[in-house]
Chain A
Amino acid sequence: MMRMIGRHSAAIFVAAALSAGSAAAANYGPGVTDTEIKLGSTNPFSGPASAYGTIAKAASAYFDKVNAEQGGVNGRKIDFIMRDDGYSPPKTVEQARKLVEQDQVLAMFQNLGTPTNTAIVKYLNAKKVPHLFVATGASKWDQPDKYPWTTGWQPSYQTEAKVYAKYILENLPNAKIGILYQNDDYGKDYLEGFHEGLGDKAKDLIVAEVSYEVTDPTVDSQIISLKDSGADVFFNVTTPKFAAQAIRKAYDIGWHPTQFLNNVSTSKAAVIDPAGVEKAKGIISSYYLKDPTDPQWNDDPAVQAYREFMAQYYPDGDPADLFNIYGYAVAQLMVEVIRKCGDDLTRENLMKQALSVDHFEIATLLPGISVTTGPDDHAALEQLQLQQFDGKEWVLFGDIVGTE
């Protein structure tokens, strides 16, 4: 029965599209009406990766804000349907199909996770469903030939690793580098980018690589091994809990290398404070968003607006959590893309608009960083700003690095 309804409504769509052929004003893809646009997203709300679930919830809260304060985008309210996949790829496939085939969303937005998106990327591209601004730092989303319907959002892990590699080659040519990384796709992506960035020098400069599993209680043993390797540069590729442990442990055992910290864990509230600000002094990292817990942004209007937004539209969320400002920022990009579509809300046009963003500035991005995409550029953000922790706050230094 459902199947017949599906066909039936498809026929109506075609008929509607044909009859409205001359009046290009209302050209709608699935999930769009005069008053509503449906977007879908798969996220972990249950299971061990639940910490990431808040990104989509913050984005959803931003859409609520736009719906409430501006009556939606071009008069259409955004209906953002989130579904729980528990970070399990088979469940992601099931939920993504539900969103596309049953809920009939216009597009996917901010699906979270590398393995989970890998499980659905082929399906969505075969169905020609826009798969926009995925919440993962893997570099594979920027492959216009292979995945024409997929776009990334954050600067890729590899891009970031190369920034540090370049810095090391220029400033610490005789470094002895020790690396701690999480043994999964995210950790390995950093490792690969870092090796590429160092080029031929990699095998001379890197003296130790040790991994940990997310189930490990601590990384103490790994830090001891790294110290023992004689490394004087420490590349810390860890998620917040382990980053804080590693920074603290290194300091406590009297190991004081030059530290590079991946931007997954730059949060002052969630990493630096728990580790201890004095222990984190001198750490180099890079970022693209304003950290709402960093005192330097206390009076920044964008961060203040963010705090007000959190208090009003997402009171359950923790404003100190960087994931929330991340969701808040990417939702603004999505709204911009929909706005640019006007009344031509087909999947094709949505994709076209998503791939023609030109220097779009989001107030919570660091100064000088903006979003640019193109038909051959499916990566939204590719710029980073180096920063060093001075014992109190992150001090930005150097030029913006990366391509646009």
Chain B
Amino acid sequence: MFYREAGQYKTSYAADMAVFPLREDRIGLAVIILAAYALAFTRNDFLLQAVMIPFLIFSLAAIGLNLLTGYAGLLSLGTGGFMGVGAYACYKLMTAFPEVNVLVWILLSGFFSAAVGVLFGLPSLRIKGFYLAVATLAAQFFLQWAFNRIPWLYNYNLSGAIEAPLRTLFGVPIIGPTATAEVRYLVVLTLVIGLTWVASNLVHGRIGREWMAIRDMDIAAELMGIKLFQTKLLAFAVSSYYCGVAGAMLVFLWYGGAEYTVFDINQSFFILFMVIIGGLGSLIGSFFGAALIFIMPIGLGIALPALLGPFGINVGAEVIEQLRFMIVGALIIFFLIVEPHGLARLWQIAKQKLRVWPFPY
């Protein structure tokens, strides 16, 4: 009805190949971005601090992993470690050169994580599938050990934790104890939108197509003249860059301080859930996945007591936590059975239905 391509003529090749070919899509995207910025002015600290900031950061990490696993077809379980490299690199740079703006360091710290990613991505030239996943576990456990055992990384702190010092942009504190949730939210939102735009351009261009060719059949891709060596390592580099930036943002723009335990194996699995539930090889799927995996447990934590209360079942926080685990597990299986291609596919189907509505097809 209101979502139709009727009357929208494409007169150039570029218009035909556009990422958002429909006017409605472009308007919708603009509305969503505006609404996201408007959220900052609601002054709802719980919403911003506990939901939106981590949701956006996890989406970015999920995009990073999706570039590697969804687009290039290389399964990685080292995401947590690569995120940690970004966070620790950012911390070292920030404390060593306090005069440079922290946003520069957050964006640059990703390159350190990219370098580490390339190093641990080298085995991907020989092995693939689950074997590669286990190889990346080596990165995960080694990096986590390094964050704990190399005191130079956390400036010989007695606590062994890295903490966000006070840093400002145009005189407004953006990280550190006095930075407000609104400011941090705006910074996170802007960075995530910018990096998502870059990722979208990457996957729609030559590089993205090369990744997808390798994912679909690497031998055929090689025969067509795609250099496996460079392309696979580039996938590791770009993916780790995104994860590294997400890791730096996680510590400095959300937690405010963290220990090495933040970047443990569970973090890696957590991001992998988001990617698979959201949809492999889909950027918007990364956002859906992050929303489902991150926000659903929070929602359940609020909804469960309210649901059980009227029946006279008053359960402790522990039981709620355990029920949450069970429900999340069951829902993961449920979503996989209903739509193995992830939420992104559901979204596509919904859009298609809307286009032909009221006809079934």
A and B together in one complex? no
**B residues near A, CB below 8 A?**
none
